Amino acid sequence: MADAITSRAEDYSQWYLDVVLNAKLADYSPVRGSMIIRPNGYALWENMQRGLDGMFKETGHENAYFPLFIPESFMAKEAEHVEGFAKECAVVTHSRLMVGENGQGLMPDPASKLEENLIVRPTSETIIWNTYAKWIQSWRDLPILINQWANVVRWEMRTRLFLRTMEFLWQEGHTAHATEAEAMEETLKILDIYTTFAQDYMAMPVIRGVKTASERFAGAVETFCIEALMQDGKALQAGTSHFLGQNFAKAFDCTFQNQNNELEYAWATSWGVSTRLIGGLVMTHSDDQGLILPPRLATKQAVIIPIYRKDDEKTAVMEVAERMVRELKDAGVGVHLDARESQRPGWKFNEYEVQGVPLRLALGPRDVKNEKVELARRDTREKEIVPQAGLAERVTRTLDEIQQGLFDRALAFRQEMTTPVDSYDAFQEVLEEKGGFVLAHWDGTAETEARIKDETKATIRCIPLEAEAASLSADEPGEDLLTGKPSSGRVVFARAY
């Protein structure tokens, strides 16, 4: 099976697709650009949802559900939003099919043409702010802290499983506040949640920063983001949190009576992460043998594979295996005993390796006799024979070590791949020969940013937040690479997904 996976060295892009397909995370769909999320991939998404949803709810957010369809006219209401989202989207024009004119196949019934076309949501600011305008009258109605888990559609030309698909799953938070300060606080609170999730659950280190004007969300005043680094040295935007100011409140006339009885526009935020995170997870940790999952996101954290030939061996092995399942379950380990007889142990070893299960326990007749079991770590591929006594404690500790080890390895890689440069020559050389994050001074103009992007395909991933900049030693003043104009600190450049 691992033969089916191209090595990273040979073709990184093909390696990624091979891992996704062979680990059965996703499959292609008959509709170009759409994907099928298979049970292994969806279980990962469910675990991601559980982690994020818990943090959203702890901070006072509630889930709701807004309609899939948005009236065409709504898309035009917020000027920048039109530019950003009205372009590539799925347009519903008819509400009925009929048998085709030649008596074969189906076609839209011309009589069912809609009075106003409907857009399949690419994001939901417009329909939500149209609703908030109805719900918000007084400061007493604020804040509104709503999130939704939903599918969205953006008509992408070049798609790649999880990383860029026409339809994807995500969460989108949309909050309304009485003051600018409160909305900004919310924006940053969510950035914290995303950071915690990326680092503590996904074991994926991220840089926190703010986007330049040209990389901002269409309709936002400021876009904050977390940026991760993939193993091929390209950046991945992993989550964004937008401070929308009063732009959408003004577009949809959403005012409220404040405590001084004055009419004011509400302040807004929106924020989202998507199934794209699954692509980021794959590209952060996996290897040429397949997927590697951090234990906190793995439904199957440990798999037990019984090995036997004769019936009496089977009885002895299965008895111990089942006892181990109980012990591990009691200790809170997500353990799976694969007792299928339709597949051989070697096939199973390979299967769970490709699927990234963090720990494999193999148990044969000799292990039973010696009261031992073989423990194999997916991340380091180390094997060890350990006593059955104290197994739960040993497994729990090893899972913690794997979780931490994956983060440490990814952080070390990112540090090695983060390069400060002070000349445009060095900048181009690093991008070509090493990749990764390049820390460079920038004069703050869109012109310089555009020229660099044009000439090198590198974009400004973010202007790092203060503490972040300090930790990257990117906070000292300097001069722009191209123009020599003053800069107060380095920004983070990279080629990106």
Contact with a second copy (CB under 8 A) among 2, 21, 43, 411 = 43
Tell me: does residue 266 bind a second copy (CB under 8 A). Answer: no
In the complex, minimum distance from the CB of residue 49 to a second copy, in angstroms, rounded to a whole number: 11
Task: Between 94 and 453, name the residue whose CB sits nearer to a second copy.
Answer: 94
| Phi, psi for 106 (deg, rounded to 5) | -125, 155
Pattern 14-33, a second copy, x by CB under 8 A:
-------------x-xxx--
Tell me: does residue 91 bind a second copy (CB under 8 A). Answer: yes
137 with 144: CB under 8 angstroms? no
Tell me: does residue 253 bind a second copy (CB under 8 A). Answer: no
Contact with a second copy (CB under 8 A) among 5, 23, 48, 75 = 75
Contact with a second copy (CB under 8 A) among 4, 50, 140, 319 = 140
Contact with a second copy (CB under 8 A) among 1, 21, 42, 426 = 42
In the complex, minimum distance from the CB of residue 50 to a second copy, in angstroms, rounded to a whole number: 11
| Phi, psi for 226 (deg, rounded to 5) | -115, 135
Tell me: does residue 120 bind a second copy (CB under 8 A). Answer: yes
160 with 17: CB under 8 angstroms? yes
Contact with a second copy (CB under 8 A) among 4, 13, 50, 87 = 87
Q: Name 447's Cβ contacts closer than 8 Å, sequence gap at least 6.
A: none
Which one-letter DSSP state was computed for residue 487? E
Q: If you count them, how many residues does the chain have?
A: 497
153 with 122: CB under 8 angstroms? yes
Tell me: does residue 68 bind a second copy (CB under 8 A). Answer: yes
Specify the stretch interacting with a second copy by CB under 8 A; choose among 3-11, 133-141, 379-387, 414-422: 133-141
CA–CA gap between residue 181 and residue 187 (Å, rounded): 10
CA–CA gap between residue 154 and residue 456 (Å, rounded): 27
Contact with a second copy (CB under 8 A) among 9, 134, 263, 433 = 134
In the complex, minimum distance from the CB of residue 489 to a second copy, in angstroms, rounded to a whole number: 40
DSSP letters for 434-475? T-SEEEEE--S-HHHHHHHHHHH--EEEEEE-HHHHHHTT--
Specify the stretch interacting with a second copy by CB under 8 A; choose among 80-88, 320-328, 421-429, 440-448: 80-88
Tell me: does residue 67 bind a second copy (CB under 8 A). Answer: yes
Pattern 289-318, a second copy, x by CB under 8 A:
------------------------------
Tell me: does residue 146 bind a second copy (CB under 8 A). Answer: yes
Contact with a second copy (CB under 8 A) among 4, 36, 181, 385 = 36
Tell me: does residue 4 bind a second copy (CB under 8 A). Answer: no
Q: Which helix (H) or strand (E) holds 335?
A: strand 335-337
Contact with a second copy (CB under 8 A) among 13, 14, 59, 73 = 73
Contact with a second copy (CB under 8 A) among 35, 193, 278, 291 = 35
Q: Which regions of 127-279 does DSSP assign to beta strands (E)?
A: 144-153, 167-177, 207-210, 222-229, 235-245, 255-257, 263-265, 267-274
Specify the stretch interacting with a second copy by CB under 8 A; choose among 145-153, 177-185, 264-272, 471-479: 145-153
Which residue matches tokens 């181009």? 428
- 118: helix, strand or coil: strand
Tell me: does residue 86 bind a second copy (CB under 8 A). Answer: yes
Task: Between 105 and 262, name the residue whose CB sits nearer to a second copy.
Answer: 105
- Burial class for 429, CB neighbours closer than 10 Å (0-12, 13-18, 19+): middle
CA–CA gap between residue 438 and residue 426 (Å, rounded): 10
Tell me: does residue 63 bind a second copy (CB under 8 A). Answer: yes
In the complex, minimum distance from the CB of residue 461 to a second copy, in angstroms, rounded to a whole number: 28
Pattern 328-357, a second copy, x by CB under 8 A:
--------------xx--------------
Angle formed at CA 95 by CA 90 and CA 97, multiple of 5 degrees = 105
Pattern 190-229, a second copy, x by CB under 8 A:
----------------------------------------
Q: Which helix (H) or strand (E) holds 386?
A: strand 383-387
In the complex, minimum distance from the CB of residue 97 to a second copy, in angstroms, rounded to a whole number: 5
Q: Name 472's Cβ contacts closer than 8 Å, sequence gap at least 6.
A: 207, 418, 439, 464, 490, 492
User: Cis peptide before 110, with omega less than 30 degrees from 0?
Assistant: no
CA–CA gap between residue 238 and residue 204 (Å, rounded): 10
The structure tokens listed for 212 are: 């330049």
Applying CB under 8 A, which residues contact a second copy?
Answer: 27, 29-31, 34-39, 41-43, 45-46, 62-76, 82, 86-97, 105-108, 112, 117-120, 127, 130-131, 134-135, 140, 146, 150-151, 153, 155, 167, 169, 342-343
